[in-house]
Structure 1
Amino acid sequence: MPRPRGYQTSSKVKVSRNIDKIFERICVREVCRNVKRLVYTHIDLKLNYNCIYTTEDFLDFLTYIAITKDFATNGSRTYRLLRNKAPSADTLLYHLRKLSIEEIITQFDLVFDKLLEDAKRKGKFRNPVDVAIDIHDWLYYGKWGDYVIGTQPKQGTHKAYKFMTICIVENGKRFHLKALPLKEFKDRYKVFEELLKHAMSRIKIKRVYLDRHFYDMEYIRILKKLGLKFIIQALRSSTIRKILDENKDKDVIVVRNYQMWRKRKPPGKETVNLFIVPSRVNNDKVCFVTNLPVNEKNAIGYAELFRRRWGIETAYRVSKDFRAKTTSKNISVRLFYFLFSLCLYNLWILVNITLCLIFNEMKPVVTAKIIGTLIFQFQVDYG
């Protein structure tokens, strides 16, 4: 049927049709040849020379159980329906348990660096970028053990493995740079500083965004020591509540040179700028502290930046789509699963960066599940 005169196909339809036409030519080649080379070649599972499986076999299997959100045992049964050469769950977990924590972190640091370099070659993250740091709980239901830390009661447990991550949080671009496990909660300051130093050696940081869990003098001291600009959502201390009561008629409240005090040992204080703005979701107020110059005119702008840039939790929710399930108490297994999920998330970002450049689009062109499916379905000859 001929189209009416003046008929124009919408941009979304054009993009969809173009993707359908070149999906196999570009997507599969990009994911299977470039992406798998970037990742798989830098992960060493310490396989013996006589092992019947390759690292690619294990990582393809892990990708499969990740995107199907399955356990290794059940996933191996369904995976064998797709692949003749499919490792068992016991074999996969055996090789992961052999790796030390240091080996796993070192390998994935290299992988994340390679992915970041590839993103920079595509024109991303070259200029100063905003970053965020968060602590993620992987809930645990077994007995206490190494790296199992108490947490707020949730979904029937108060135990969790905790991972601190640092992530680039630009609009439409969220990219994991590094993640570390917390063995004890007291390690959080040391890990926090290590993550920031790692990021500073690889990118230029514009600002650091932190949620209320980081409203702590020690974190602020570390940020100041490293010369970084920050915005942190503040908890309502008795002093802040008093400020709110005294300024009920004001929409925006700014207190320059606000003093944060710590009475418990070791005592101390830190000077920051406090600003309080109306919440966008209710009639309440939201409090922030920063070392940026703030006034009544730019305070709402800073709060809006925090809202728009705070994308680490969004990135974490999507990366959970790439994480396999496990009941293992072994930290090497947990850590490998967690870092591999972040790695797959970055791969998804990289593929979409490439396609967005082709189609001149701002939003992701293909879903995370499609990318995960392509990764384990198509094998490449590494030559």
Structure 2
Amino acid sequence: MNKSNLNINPLVSEIAGLFPCGKNSTYKSPDITCRLINSALENQSLEAMYKLEGNFSADRMLNKLHEISKEQTENLMDNSNQKLKLPKRVNLAIDFHNKKFYGNKNHFEIMGSKGGKYVKKYIEASLTNPKYFISAYPVNQITNNKIKLIDKILDGFYEKYDSKIHLILIDREFFSKKVVEYFCSNNLKFIMPAKKDSAIKKLVEQFKLGKIKNKVRYKFGECFVNLLFLKVEEEVYVFMTNTKYSPLKAALLYKKRWQIETNFREQNNFLFKTKTLNFAIRYFAFVLAGLLFNLWQMSRNGKIESYLFKKKLKDIILVEFSELIIFCKGIG
């Protein structure tokens, strides 16, 4: 069926399994799936795609999406991503991803962020090399516990893969004694920027005056870690880690964590837009964007740009799945 080296059959099959359709249904599960993927590739809302292409109303699509639970989306993510081929050792970047929200700000799914804005929050794990989306989970006012969220990501990783996590790269938003104690007690190597609280500010000043070296032992909570100081022009960067890396080595490794920021921007280009207050649908859209991002990464080999990938994928859907959709309607 697939004449291209871009194999989307497994992903289409996984998604189609979420939409059981009756024998007399006008539209079948592959049809629904392909229309969802097209909306994501166009970075458009379901309403806009209906106006552009017709055939399947946005209301019908939303009715189908309302049947999907958060747990089903997690299963879709796990089943699709467990097929990824990973190196024996990987560096895992963990970060929060905030999607701006303009609706009811009193909903427990909505959280405040810097600058007074309100967001729907997700925690996401990605690899720095290869550049894969690994997992993401919604965060709300009830589940906003960094330790439990990190634990869920790591448990999910080891359930799917035999690879070893060599290093965890995290943002300073995770800078807390409990998080550091969690990493140390579980023998997990990590690097993160240190927040310059009053104690660390004093050390920065001592470093500038040459009174301390660029690596010092530092008690943080119940464990000892290394504080690394790296001066770049007039700025002093401070990293906290339980590794033996030099400041320069740690900075170069941490720089790769910024890849997750790039991933966020690229994943946004694979997101179908919706204003629904059903947050299970929003989570599905977020995960689908990550899975399409992975498909792009597997196909590009550092060469194909995202807009070319999207065109290629839409052509495959149009040609290869049109016969399947017609066949499914015929046996309905």
* TM-score, normalising length: structure 2: 0.87
CA-to-aligned-CA distance 1:290-333 (integer Å, 9 cap, x gap): 11124xxx221211121134311111111111012211111111
Alignment match, 1:348: 296
**What is the CA–CA distance in structure 1 between the aligned matches of 2:76 and 2:98, rounded to whole Å?**
22
Q: CA deviation at 1:375?
A: 2.3
How far apart are residue 346 of structure 1 and its match? 0.1
Shift of 1:207: 0.6
CA contact (8 A) 2:127 2:134 kept: yes
For residue 78 of structure 2, give the secondary structure of its aligned residue in structure 1.
helix
Say if 1:55 and 1:367 are closer, same or farther in 2 by CA, change over 3 A: farther
Distance 1:224 1:55 in 2: 47
Which residue in 1 is equivalent to 2:87? 126
1:30 aligned residue = 5
Which of the residues 184, 196, 219 maps onto 1:224?
A: 184
Partner of 1:45: 18
Q: Does 1:273 align with 2:226?
A: yes
Task: Call closer, same or farther: CA 1:316–1:287 in 2, change over 3 Å.
Answer: same
248, 255, 258: which one aligns with 2:208: 248
Q: SS state of the match for residue 236, structure 1? A: coil
CA-to-aligned-CA distance 1:1-27 (integer Å, 9 cap, x gap): xxxxxxxxxxxxxxxxxxxxxxxxx9x
Q: Which letter does structure 1 place at the counterpart of 2:114?
A: Q
**Which one is further off, 299-308 or 330-339?**
299-308
| Whole-angstrom distance in 1 between the partners of 2:79 and 2:316 | 23
Q: Check 1:54–1:244 CA distance in 2 against 1; reply closer, same or farther (3 A cut).
A: same
Mapping 1:176-215, distance limit 5 Å: 176-184=133-141, 186-201=144-159, 202=161, 203-215=163-175
**Contact 2:68–2:280, Cα closer than 8 Å, also in 1:** yes
- Extract unaligned runs of 5+ from structure 1: 1-25, 81-85, 262-268, 354-363
Alignment check: 8 A CA contact 2:21 2:28 kept: no
Aligned with residue 137 of structure 1, among 98, 101, 112: 98
**Shift, 1:54, TM fit:** 2.7
TM-score by length of 1: 0.76
Which residue number corresponds to residue 161 of structure 1? 120
Q: For the structure 1 residues 188 and 97, does the alpha-carbon distance in structure 2 shift closer, same or farther, using more than 3 Å as the test?
A: farther
Query: 1:62 & 1:289 partners in 2: Cα distance?
Result: 43
Q: For residues 327-373 of structure 1, what are the alpha-carbon distances to aligned partners after superposition, in whole Å with 9 as ceiling and x for unaligned?
A: 111111100100000000000011123xxxxxxxxxx2111122223
Return the alpha-carbon distance in structure 2 between the equivalents of residues 225 and 48 of structure 1: 49
Letter in structure 2 aligned against 1:76? Y
> What amino acid is the match of 1:338?
F
What residue number does 2:74 align with? 105
Q: AA paired with 2:286?
A: F
Kept after mapping to 2: 8 A contact 1:212/1:232? yes
3-state SS in 2 of match to 1:99:
coil
Summarize the alignment of residues 288-299 of structure 1 with structure 2, pairs less than 5 Å apart: 288-294=239-245, 298-299=246-247
Which of 276, 283, 305 is residue 335 of structure 1 equivalent to?
A: 283
Q: Could you list the runs of 4 or more consecutive aligned residues of structure 1 that deviate by over 6 angstroms after TM superposition? A: none
Percent of residue pairs bearing the same amino acid type: 24
Deviations 1:158-204 (A, max 9, x none): 2111111111112xx21011111112263332111110122234121
Q: Among residues 374, 378, 381, which one is paired with 2:312 in the alignment?
A: 374
How many residues are treated as equivalent by the alignment?
313
- Name 2:330's counterpart in structure 1: none
Contact 2:216–2:226 (CA<8 Å) still a contact in 1?
yes
Which runs of no fewer than 5 residues in structure 2 stay unpaired? 328-332
Which is worse superposed, 62-71 or 328-337?
A: 62-71
